[in-house]
Amino acid sequence: MNDRHRAGALAAAGIRNAMTIDVEDYFQVSAFAPVIARDSWEARECRVERNVGRILEILAGRDVKATFFTLGWIAERYPQVVRSIAAGGHEVASHGYGHLRASDQSRAEFSADVRRSKAILEDIAGQAVLGYRAPSFSIGRANLWALDVLQEAGYRYSSSIYPIQHDHYGMPEAPRFAFRPNGPGGLLEVPITTVQLMRRKLPAGGGGYFRLLPYALSRSMMRRVNDVDRQSAIFYFHPWEIDPGQPRPAGVGMKSRFRHYVNLARMEGRIRQLTQDFAWDRMDRIFLGKP
C-alpha cells in the first residue's frame, strides 16, 4: 500500500492526526529570551506573515486542515494572518498573548493573559477559540491549576503538557494520550505525541526532534501510534522552522543555537511529505467532535 492509499485507509478507519502550528516568530522563542529583550520585539524584522502564507499554501495543496495556536501579540499586529488562517478553514487557537511561560505567571496573571489572547483572536477570526497551548509546554505537575483557569475562561481543551523528560519542560509521568488531569469534569489535555520504548517515552510529534532525526524514523514512530496504539498523533511546528534565511541574533548559546537552527533548510520538504504520508485534521474536529 502506497502512502496516499495508506493515509486514505487510516482516515476511513477514523484515525486522523492533528496538524498544529505554533504561530510565533523567531525572536519570540523562549531559548532566545536571555539575549532578546521583549522591548526590542517591535523593532525586529517580523517574518511570520510570509511564513504562515507558505504554510497555508502547503496545506491547501493537500487539502489539509490544521490548528494554528496563535500569539495574541502577533494577531494584534498582523490581523490578516489570523483572517487568512480562518478563511482557509483552519482552527484558530490560542498560544497566549506574549509568549510568557505559564509556569512563570501567577494565577491572576495567567488568567488575564489567556483571556486577553482569546478575546483578540475571536474578534479577528470571527470564530470561537476553544484550544490553548502553553508556550514551551509550560503546564506540568506544579501548575495544573492553569487548566482550571483555562476552563473558567471558556477554553475546551489544552495541548500544553509534554509527557517527556526535558531540561526546559515536561511531565514524564503524564499519560501519552488525551486525558483530564484535574478529574472527570476538568479540562481535556491533549499531549504532543510520544512513543513508548520500555519505560521511556520518546518525542515523536515535531519540534527540533523532527528536524534532527531522519524523516523515516519520525514517520515510523507516528505510524506506530496509528497502527499499534490506534490513536491520533499530534504534530507541531513553527513558522520560523521553514525559514532558513531568518536573522541570527548574536549571543545565543551553543546548545540553543543548535536546537533552533538544525536542518531548517530541510523542514519545508519534510512538512510537504508529512501531508502526503498521513491523514490530517484540526484538533477541535478530532477531539471535540466539531463538524
Average predicted confidence (pLDDT) for the chain: 93
Residues 6+ apart with CB under 8 A from 48: 23, 24, 25, 74, 78, 81, 239, 240
Domain of residue 178, residue span: 3-287
C-alpha triplet 131, 190, 147: angle, nearest 5°: 60
Burial of 290 (0-12, 13-18, 19+ CB in 10 A): middle
User: What is the rounded distance in angstroms from the CA atom of residue 23 to the CA atom of residue 120?
Assistant: 14
- The pLDDT tens digits of the residues spanning 41-63 come to 999 999 999 999 999 999 999 99
Nearest to 11 by CA among 291, 284, 277: 277
Q: In which element (H, E) is residue 94 found? A: strand 91-94
Pairing between strand 280-281 and 67-70?
unpaired
Share of the chain above pLDDT 90, in %: 84
- For residue 133, name the pLDDT band (cuts at 50, 70, 90): very high
Query: If you search the block for the grid coordinates 551553543, which residue do you land on?
Result: 254
For residue 167, the domain's CATH number is: 3.20.20.370
User: What is the rounded distance in angstroms from the CA atom of residue 209 to the CA atom of residue 2?
Assistant: 25
Residues in the chain: 291
- The pLDDT tens digits of the residues spanning 201-245 come to 989 999 888 999 999 999 999 999 999 999 999 999 999 999 999
Count of structural domains, the chain: 1
Contact 208, 181 (CB under 8 A): no
- The pLDDT tens digits of the residues spanning 168-212 come to 666 888 999 999 999 999 999 999 999 998 888 989 999 888 999
